[in-house]
A and B are shown apart, each in its own frame.
Chain A
Amino acid sequence: MHYWLLQNSITIALLLVLAASAWQLSRRETWRIAAREIRHNRLALASFAILALYGGIAVLDSVGWRRPVINPETGDVARHTQTGAVVYDQGASALDALLKPIRGMREKTYSAPFSDRQFSAVTDIGPDGRAQRVRPPLNHPRRHLMGTDRVGMDVFYQGLKSIRTGMIIGLLTTLLAVPFAILFGVCAGYFGGWLDDAAQYLCAVLSSIPTVLFIAAFMIIFGQGLPQLCLAMGIASWTGLYRLLRGETLRLRDADFVQAATATGVPVWRILSRHIVPNLLHIVLITTVLRFSSEVLAEAALTYLGIGVGADTMSWGSMINDARTELTRDPVIWWKLTTAFAFMIGLVLPANIFADAVRDALDPRLRTQ
């Protein structure tokens, strides 16, 4: 049991932090009103349900365990021949355990959604001895919701397994980029002077490096993997939001209510936290969500170039990358691309709708009650 806890410590820690911050926010008046407002918005509620489903799947896919490999002959736990350490299997997540029935449904190669036969025909010697082209029946006819791919793996299963990758790329990149953008943007805009100059030069330098090149170099140096990719994309992408926030802060700094607060003697940190940052939140929310979608797409492009996540990680990007060759076939094999697309839309669209609702709910001017 303790093994299980150890292996999932990061996930558990993240969940605890999330729960703690949600509890903190729920004690604040503004957010309580916002939550009430959102509860009256059906579209936002539906979006939230879909997002929760995606989130749940991602969490299930992040909680996993490894079992010791059992020597099939002796029935004992296998040990390393030299070190004597226990050998574990590849590991499986909770989602894998749930999806075991789908995962096991392997075919030989392509099959269309809900088909009972293979997509491509094979030459077969009929009972009359004559060679004929037939489409052999599937092992699991009419069981593949979105068909199977070249190696006969269920496409719907791949889509589900890619949710975690997509969520991690979207969230981790955003979590890395947004605090940087807010910190630099607000400080540069509010204090100005050499701080502004320094931030502007840093930003100009970063923007002048082609993003793809930067990420490629980063991945070559630090190795290919999901955390490296997120870090590289986070570093490369905070400048856009930074510029927006700096500009808006410059405008807010001269707004009468900020001047009034300064003239009253309100400390600087309070001006920043009560007057500036809350009035930037709408920009942060919208940009974040728009970026969330573009980063999921960027992952696809990077995978296409061979610098995305590793080949052993399933992602919508790698699915789209595979679909590249499939789309040139005749008749077209459309289901892999469609599945990746549908899953992405399913995440990005509710995220946009929900972020809009949150932004409106946080703005006292737009509240309905």
Chain B
Amino acid sequence: MTSATMNNQPKQLIDVQDLHVSFRQGPARVPAVDGASFSMAPGEMLALVGESGSGKSVTALSILGLLPRPAALVEQGHILFHGQDVLGMNDAQLRQIRGNRISMIFQEPMTALNPVLTVGWQIAEVLRLHRGISAKDARVQAIALLDKVGIPDPASRHDDYPHQLSGGMRQRVMIAIALACQPELLIADEPTTALDVTVQAQIMDLIARLRHEYGTAVLLITHNLALVREQADRIAVMYAGSIVEQAPRDELFARPAHPYTRLLLRSLPHSGQRGQRLASISGSVPKLSDIGPGCPFAPRCPLAQPRCRDERPANTTVGEAHLAACHFATQAMAAAIPADAIPAIATGELLLDIRDLRVWFPIHHGFLSRVQGHVRAVDGVSLQLRRGETLALVGESGCGKTTVGKALVRLAKATAGAAVLSGAGDVLALDHHAMHAVRKRIQMIFQDPFSSLNPRLTIGESITEGMDAHRIGANAAERRARAEAIMAKVGLPAAALGRYPHQFSGGQRQRIGLARALAVEPDVVICDECTSALDVSVQAQILNLLKDIQHEFHLAYLFITHDLSVVGYLADRVAVMYLGHVVEEGLAHEVLDTPAHPYTRALLAAAPHIDGSDATRPAPRLSGDVPSPASPPTGCPFHTRCPIAQDQCQQAMPPQTALSPTHHCHCLFPQR
């Protein structure tokens, strides 16, 4: 790159040209980024969107020279920052840029801050390092920054340690550190993935506000297309190490050109797709080492032609500033895949009746570990579940939704209440022997596909284990045959039974988790966030599978999730939980379309929507965090954050208000 060409693009803040990065794995080199090119103008927000393994984080780390050495190797390419190649800089030059002119926010606010230093000190450190100001001035500036990122009472928070702050507050502190030197470029790597929806919305608003205030360009790295819909100026979609499509935001959402982008957009579940099968992309993101000479998406592309497998497509201009790396990008592809309907499931008899369930965890303190109080994880929850029905239990982290699921299978001990399973009596009061028979009927699928399977057992051993315990099948051969049949149902080959969990992708493992649950012929399956760890395209596959399986076996699902878009697609009924209480319950369309409780309204407002209807948000965003369940507020648990709270809300828990025969909420001022 000569200086002449550099002067031709004076406007570009950063220009990534044909970046190739690979990782050493033993003697082999596995590519991670395979020819990524993009550029950003000052003050622009570019969203780099891709599924896990697409190389988006590696691209970001290369900009800051933070690639792990010597494992990672930049094979070729340039990253020009103001026309200077970052890749050629030495450590001293890079340190001048890092945190000063380019800074970064990481995904996990829990580990990104040093736990033994106060947050104020960590902000001041950056200022003293790059601005060389005195400790006293740094303190003043750090407090000002804390105020700017919306931390209440910044002067006293300055001397707090990270553990004293909530996840959302820590992410605010991270942003304060990143923006301390007013950088020209902020790289945000999945900044809200670890946060709840209401907090996610706060953080995204904060980034947007500060971006305009400081004129900082933002490179937002995310897997969440809906999040990008609101704030990004331009979007670049990454797949298998290269950028397959980039366009201004509205252009991309209106006229996606690459089949991958089209499918990704269509595989996002929302309530408009009820009763339809989600468009899912078969298979999962390939390893870059397995990709042939052709288009990396060709093996999963429903429109792939022979040419796609042999020839790498170049960037084609589809519209204004709209590039797509596809041979057929300019051809109309609207009728790519027809959406087929899923037959509606008739709900049957009442299977599970949960009455006033309470799970309190004792807090032990002091001499002889006396009980000093209780964490009221679940505090009086009543729900009914019918055969063939999906009941979604929705709430933010810490609201007790997972504890409800665990109490039903007695992984957590219920303090009070009953859960009557038809034909078996109260599950929570059964003795050990009777409970063993019930375990067969209530099964659970877990969130993390990587920790839910024993790494040292083959898939076959994991699946037949439950059959062994319940003496299903006369002998080992019969159980094996049954396991093979179940594997076929969840879409995996019988040969998979002899393999170990690490040989499968996340989506495949979640299929195995479902197969393990189905092996004992349950009536109720508790799905605990079972799609939230998966990529969007894989999530669609699993959601489709869950629907098919429910139809075939006439199962009841208790679907525990924080993701409202999945709820709208999958659930028949929805129960919204806050601080151990169900605040609103009703049919899915009732709760999602006409929410009555202010918390439900806020939750729906905070969730990013793909259809772009967020311009007319029905309710303001929530401020603050969920109070601790160890010392819940008196009266209505939500009154501390409620925009319409009155004095009487603090007096007592609001009684149940019926809005329709199927829809009720606990609020003194329900909104209709």
Contact = CB atoms under 8 A, between A and B. Distances in A.
A260 B469 contact: no
A363 B409 contact: no
B149 to A, nearest CB: 34
Interface in A245-302: 255-267, 270, 274-275, 278-279
B411 A255 contact: no
Contacts of A264: 439-440, 443, 465-466, 469, 516, 520
B363 interface: no
A257 B452 contact: yes
Interface string B497-515: 0001010000000000100
A364 interface: yes
29 contacts: A256-B448, A256-B451, A257-B452, A257-B462, A259-B411, A259-B446, A260-B444, A260-B452, A261-B454, A262-B411, A263-B409, A263-B442, A264-B443, A264-B466, A264-B516, A265-B470, A265-B520, A266-B466, A266-B469, A274-B461, A275-B457, A278-B454, A279-B454, A279-B455, A362-B456, A363-B455, A363-B456, A364-B455, A364-B456
Interface of B: 406, 409, 411, 436, 439-440, 442-444, 446-448, 451-458, 461-462, 465-466, 468-470, 500, 502, 513, 516, 520
B454 A265 contact: no
A279 B501 CA distance: 14
By size class, the interface of chain A is 20 to 34
Contact of B465 (A259, A261, A279, A362): A261
A270 B469 contact: yes
Contacts of B447: 256
Contacts of B462: 257
Contacts of A365: 455, 500, 502
Interface string A306-345: 0000000000000000000000000000000000000000
Contact of A265 (B452, B461, B466): B466
Q: By CB atoms of chain B within 10 A, which of A30, A257, A259, A266 has the most?
A: A257
Contacts of B444: 259-260, 263
Nearest to A264: B466
Nearest to B408: A263
A265 B439 contact: yes
Contact of A279 (B456, B466, B502): B456
B439 A275 contact: no
Contact of B451 (A255, A270, A274): A255
Q: By CB atoms of chain A within 10 A, which of B453, B457, B468 has the most?
A: B457
A274 B457 contact: yes
B452 to A, nearest CB: 4
Contact of A260 (B440, B458, B516): B516
Contacts of A265: 436, 439-440, 466, 469-470, 520
Chain A interface helix/strand/loop/mixed: helix
Contacts of A263: 409, 411, 439, 442-444
B433 to A, nearest CB: 11
Contacts of B454: 257-258, 261, 274-275, 278-279
Contact of B469 (A258, A259, A267): A267
A260 B447 CA distance: 11
Contacts of B406: 259
Contacts of A266: 465-466, 468-469
B427 to A, nearest CB: 12
Interface in A17-39: 30
Contacts of B469: 264-267, 270
Nearest to B498: A29
B195 to A, nearest CB: 22
A361 B447 CA distance: 29
B409 A364 contact: no
B451 A364 contact: no
Given A256-B452, A364-B502, 17 more contacts: A255-B451, A256-B446, A257-B451, A259-B406, A260-B444, A260-B446, A260-B513, A263-B409, A263-B439, A264-B439, A264-B465, A265-B439, A265-B520, A275-B457, A278-B454, A364-B455, A365-B500
A363 B502 CA distance: 11
Q: By CB atoms of chain B within 10 A, which of A256, A264, A278 has the most?
A: A264
A119 B391 CA distance: 90
Contacts of A362: 456
Q: 5 closest A-B pairs (Cβ-Cβ)?
A: A265-B439, A256-B452, A364-B500, A264-B466, A256-B446
B516 to A, nearest CB: 7
Nearest to B452: A256
A270 B516 CA distance: 17
A278 B456 contact: yes
A267 B468 CA distance: 10
Contacts of B409: 262-263
Nearest to A275: B454
Given A266-B465, A266-B466, A364-B500, A257 B453 contact: yes
A258 B462 CA distance: 11
Q: By CB atoms of chain B within 10 A, which of A260, A262, A364 has the most?
A: A260
Nearest to A367: B500
Contacts of B470: 265
A314 B636 CA distance: 79
A77 B143 CA distance: 99
Contacts of A256: 446-448, 451-452
A263 to B, nearest CB: 4
Contacts of A258: 454
A262 B466 CA distance: 10
A118 to B, nearest CB: 56
